[in-house]
Amino acid sequence: MKASDYIVEYLLKKNITDVFGYPGGMVTHLMDSFSKSPIRAHVTYHEQGAAFAACGYAQETGKVGVAYATSGPGATNLITGICNAYFDSIPTLFITGQVNTFESKGDLGVRQRGFQETDIVSIVKPVTKYAVRITDADKLRYHLDEAFHIASEGRKGPVLLDIPMNIFRAEVDPDALEGFVPSEDRSGTSFDELKAALAASSRPVLLAGSGIKSAGAVELLNKVASKLNIPVITTMLAIDTVRNSYGFIGAYGSRTANFIAAKSDLVISLGARLDVRQIGARREQFAPGARIVRVEIDKDELSLKAHDDEIQVNADVKDVLDAMLDAKTKDLELWNMICGKIRDELAFIDDRLPNRFVHNISKVIPEGSVITTDVGQNQIWVAQSFGVKKDQRIFFSGGHGAMGYSLPAAIGCALASGKEVYSFQGDGGIQMNIQELQTVARENIPVKIILFNNSALGMIRHFQEMYFDNNYVQTVPEGGYTVPDFEAVAGAYKIPYKCVTSPEDIDDGLFDVPGPQFIEVKITEPTYVFPKLEFGKPNQDQEPLLDREEYDFIMTLDEGNIKETLQS
């Protein structure tokens, strides 16, 4: 059979239902093969859109997301999505076309021999788990097997196969193709030190990271937290993992979560990188009185320590949680009372207009829904104020922080799940991949676009206010940044449009149109993200600063005075 037909048949056997790409000369054989297959190949209007859609498909299903593009600019346009998959551990396969092997420059010193010839493999090797050019059609199965294995094993991530056009059209004998057999890792990990630390702790806290979602361990995490009665805080990417968490930690995180971490004596970090945004620039200030247990499947992440004396567990978080089910703990009733009192003390302190918009919108988004956010203020407002309901899933562009992620990722999520997907945007981010509105319109994909329009690049505008004497260059209309008439834009794509100007306008009828919708939330006042951590300060001392008496009161809450405090 033709090699491109074999590739499509291989993907079908892997239960891939949808792939995303953009036409180009070097992938015409692959496109033709998809057209004869049950797999739905969705054309996007930019290769970056295809890459993000593949990310969304993978995040929603847990399967490998697939995107394809032609050689040269098609391949390089995938790179932002490849980086997104790499930094957020998303299993994805990117297939790029390449010029025929007989017109490749090979070892010649010329920059390029074939039209659109580009060495995409060398370019993406630092941001993929596996990248290879296939120059022998008989090695096709081997490389597909290895790519799928590597994308999904350990810490998941992107892989890339670069395939010349003459390899796509070559004839192969499927029964004669050599496969890849992964080596078995029989090494075990002891969790005794973790269990001992937990048994000795009076103020333990579980810190859930996005590795919980990658491992498929959300229900197991909730079971452990409930059984052991341990408070849970999260990272921003994991706000949808725990039904009763105290919020997410970090620079823009929940004051409650940051105070709880600061007052704990043991932080068990489960699949979280503990980067600067999460624990601050001065790592010793994070949970200063606590022992830290780092559970991390990627051994390299453990080379950057949070505390010098941390306990490091290089293992799958699912195995660790399984082992924790029979762990012993002290009576944690008073510690839980302290955590609850902290939350009560800090309720509504940072309640602002955009946060109220998000909170009210979240009330009318049903259980079981999928939500995506873009990057910027809209992302933080969702993380801070979205009231997560049962079985809802929220996806971000985390480590790479790529504007333009939300809309195409929502497309991938919707096509994977068949559900309505609620895609939060900023007026800046949506314009990065605004062309994908045509993908939504063409296929009538049920994506509900929620656009926060403040006519500004709000995060950078705030930065300019703080550090550049209000010189709003390139971030607001008077500085050279403008936005289009979004009602007219929605009309051009024939997507039903609504405008909301007050949180009180939001009711059960907001999403009353089946299929795609475009909801514009107009905000005319300058917008900010608070609480916000000043560089170098401990996480719990965010701006605007708490009254010092309130701050000291929370920091001195302990098992000796909590009952008296609650009674008074």
SS (H, E, C) 204-269: EEEEECCHHHHCCCHHHHHHHHHHHCCCEEECHHHCCCCCCCCCECCCCCCHHHHHHHHHCCEEEE
Examine the domain organization and report whether 172 and 214 are in the same domain: no
- The answer to whether position 534 is within a domain reads no
Examine the domain organization and report whether 327 and 377 are in the same domain: no
| Cβ density class 529-564: b for 16+ within 10 Å, e for less | bbbbbeeebbbbbbeeebeeeeeebbeebeeeebee
Examine the domain organization and report whether 207 and 152 are in the same domain: no
pLDDT at residue number 565: 81
CB atoms within 10 A of CB 474: 12
- The answer to whether position 183 is within a domain reads no
- The answer to whether position 235 is within a domain reads yes
pLDDT at residue number 244: 83
Domain finish residue from 142, 176, 210: 176
Examine the domain organization and report whether 286 and 149 are in the same domain: no
CB atoms within 10 A of CB 47: 27
- The answer to whether position 162 is within a domain reads yes
Examine the domain organization and report whether 283 and 138 are in the same domain: no
- The answer to whether position 547 is within a domain reads no
CATH number at residue 241: 3.40.50.1220
Q: Which domain holds residue 18?
A: 3-176
Examine the domain organization and report whether 335 and 372 are in the same domain: no
Domain finish residue from 146, 176, 206: 176
Examine the domain organization and report whether 197 and 310 are in the same domain: yes
- The answer to whether position 560 is within a domain reads no
Examine the domain organization and report whether 20 and 126 are in the same domain: yes
Reported as type and span, the H/E element at residue 21 is: strand 18-21
- The answer to whether position 91 is within a domain reads yes
Tens-binned pLDDT, residue by residue, of the chain (568 aa): 999 999 999 999 999 999 999 999 999 999 999 999 999 999 999 999 999 999 999 999 999 999 999 999 999 999 999 999 999 999 999 999 999 999 999 989 999 998 999 999 999 999 999 999 999 999 999 999 999 999 999 999 999 999 999 999 999 999 999 999 988 765 677 899 999 999 999 999 999 999 999 999 999 999 999 999 999 999 999 999 998 899 999 999 999 999 999 999 999 999 999 999 899 889 999 999 999 999 999 999 999 999 999 999 999 999 999 999 999 999 999 999 999 999 999 987 777 999 999 999 999 999 999 999 999 999 999 999 999 999 999 999 999 999 999 999 999 999 999 999 999 999 999 999 999 999 999 999 999 999 999 999 999 999 999 899 999 999 999 999 999 999 999 999 999 999 999 999 999 999 999 999 999 999 999 999 999 998 889 999 999 999 999 999 999 999 888 888 887 7
Are 450 and 476 in contact, with CB atoms under 8 Å apart? no
Domain finish residue from 346, 369, 390: 346
For residues 69 and 77, what is the distance between their CA atoms, to the nearest angstrom?
8
Examine the domain organization and report whether 397 and 339 are in the same domain: no
CA triple 410-217-254, angle to 5 deg: 70
Examine the domain organization and report whether 368 and 514 are in the same domain: yes
| pTM exceeding 0.85 | yes
pLDDT at residue number 74: 98
pLDDT at residue number 281: 86
Side by side, which strands form the sheet with 40-43? 40-43, 18-21, 65-69, 92-98, 158-164, 130-133
Examine the domain organization and report whether 138 and 275 are in the same domain: no
Q: Which single residue is written with the structure tokens 């010189």?
A: 471
CATH number at residue 106: 3.40.50.970
Examine the domain organization and report whether 124 and 196 are in the same domain: no
Q: What DSSP assignment string belongs to 420-470?
A: -EEEEEETTGGGGSGGGHHHHHHHT--EEEEEEE-SS-HHHHHHHHHHSTT
Tally the domains of the chain.
3
- The answer to whether position 17 is within a domain reads yes
